[in-house]
Structure 1
């Protein structure tokens, strides 16, 4: 006889699946969510629908999934801010990242780019720090939202550089980039897939990347850590389900997701947008969430971000 969970997994999916993307359309979370949805639908022959539910730094969409039936038919694309930043930064976070979700797999990582408008006379981290020190608190930096890795990248940068900058959060990358190009904000930390096309069009200037090494496709752009040793931030994105989802269903989704991200057409399409496909086991994802919760809690404490609320 087969167990109850295994029997459920054998018949899964028998109807349409929802993938909640808790950010606006067009960003890296959305791209990865739609990639997974398309390929799951092709593999399983059931509709897989993406729904964008932005707001509260991703918490609105995440809470919807946390409170959904644990049957594998409602899934969440969860960026690391949802699982490892928001719970520390926001006392009102309505879910526990370790208790309310069943991790399935990582789906990708996205480097963070520090960029300025092409009209701003800044071409390096040193020049940016000098500008910030010459006129304290005048510089504003944009991010795709409060509590995102991009936001905390700016806070960490200011703290390590000994400068003051005013944070301007947006509801997603698109409105932030519009204001950055026009100079409404003087700099931004953003996901490279949304910023790179505008760098190539010379509307933005790439100053540095926040990864620990230069990127193979941007060898002429230095890392922030070359001027601020020890500086490193990143964005990772995962797929999770509500806690209590049958283990065999989680494993079935995990196996299919890992297959999807080995497909050459998927890897090429994502690489062209600066997104690195990256998968994991459910247990490895749990370990990553735990380690990142501790890592970002230290950054939030060291930068005093929580006291600014």
Structure 2
């Protein structure tokens, strides 16, 4: 059996076993949760960490389905096509509002064809360097090194137009720097080359680089969010070091367009209750994710604001995809 088929089979068996193990109160129609990212990704791990808690708080089985591809477009397209009956939702990341700016054609409208339910959590990003390639101990030293050799250094990302790509571009733009972008098909291969010295620096999620920071193979220069990361308390933010930039990841629950207000409230209340439960709080803390549940109205406002923000950045950097 091919590896991918085996992985899908295992995920299916796990979902079935979870459903069978649920108590009587959770034996109704299952809630289908689409994760438009690959199994094992940060997005996927977050949702699966809350899967049982959501089943408990919503009183029904919860089945998680990974539909990765095209920066989340493939999975979200399935969500958009689903009936607005409260039986199908999706958990999306920043890429949801980035895609309209980087893809020339979109099969749906990222704002009009969905119903925001809630933003659940934020994932901190960190600017890291290969210390052998860029021997900088802080942001001032890093900026000086890159300015001294324009376009001689490079940075990697998980792909053209992804949030990690745009986060790095945001930093470079604010600092007045130039560096060559090397896009990869995922965080894993890019991080391997970053450690190996083929890539000089990158912006990555904290969970994905914790082990490498502890081992000393990578060095954290700045947290890119508004606050420091608890496990990296000695690493200042970009803003603390004079660069007025704040960018990080977030995860939000959405439904199809036309989801009735009563369903939005029911889903939002149940999801937030699950994510704020002790077991999910613990899992999120271990993953370095910050729980900040929003209302559906706040989520809608964030989507619109973030879409405008990244559209402006994409216009400036000229990133476009077919």
> TM-score, normalised on structure 2?
0.84
Q: Provide the C-alpha distance between the structure 1 equivalents of 2:186 and 2:64, rounded to a whole number of angstroms.
A: 17
Aligned counterpart for 1:15 among listed residues 29, 36, 41: 29
The match for 1:119 is: 132
- Long gaps (5+) in structure 2: 1-24
Shift of 1:226: 3.3
Question: Does structure 2 conserve the Cα–Cα contact (< 8 Å) formed by 1:23 and 1:29?
Answer: yes
> Cα distance 1:167–1:228, how it changes in 2: closer, same or farther (>3 A)?
farther
Name whichever of 99-108 and 154-163 sits farther off.
154-163
Shift of 1:64: 1.8
Name whichever of 231-240 and 219-228 sits farther off.
219-228
Aligned counterpart for 1:25 among listed residues 17, 30, 39: 39
Q: Provide the C-alpha distance between the structure 2 equivalents of 1:163 and 1:281, rounded to a whole number of angstroms.
A: 38
User: Does 1:200 pair with 2:206?
Assistant: no
Aligned counterpart for 2:104 among listed residues 84, 91, 100: 91
Question: Does structure 1 conserve the Cα–Cα contact (< 8 Å) formed by 2:174 and 2:243?
Answer: no
Aligned counterpart for 1:237 among listed residues 231, 242, 251: 251
Deviations 1:183-217 (Å, cap 9, x if unpaired)?
22111101112122321232321111112333333
> Cα distance 1:40–1:212, how it changes in 2: closer, same or farther (>3 A)?
closer
Shift of 1:57: 1.4
> Cα distance 1:308–1:285, how it changes in 2: closer, same or farther (>3 A)?
closer
SS in 2 for 1:50: strand
The match for 1:178 is: 192
Shift of 1:115: 0.8
User: Does 1:216 pair with 2:219?
Assistant: no
SS in 1 for 2:230: coil
The match for 2:287 is: 273
Aligned counterpart for 1:64 among listed residues 71, 75, 78: 78
Name whichever of 273-282 and 68-77 sits farther off.
68-77
Q: Provide the C-alpha distance between the structure 2 equivalents of 1:308 and 1:286, rounded to a whole number of angstroms.
A: 25
Deviations 1:267-296 (Å, cap 9, x if unpaired)?
122111110112111111111112222222
> Cα distance 1:25–1:142, how it changes in 2: closer, same or farther (>3 A)?
farther
The match for 1:142 is: 156
Shift of 1:308: 9.0
The match for 2:122 is: 109
Please tell me the root mean square deviation across aligned C-alpha atoms, in Å.
Answer: 2.3
Deviations 1:145-192 (Å, cap 9, x if unpaired)?
332322111112222222221222333322322222222211110111
- Long gaps (5+) in structure 1: 1-10
Q: Provide the C-alpha distance between the structure 2 equivalents of 1:78 and 1:254, rounded to a whole number of angstroms.
A: 15
Name whichever of 97-106 and 193-202 sits farther off.
193-202
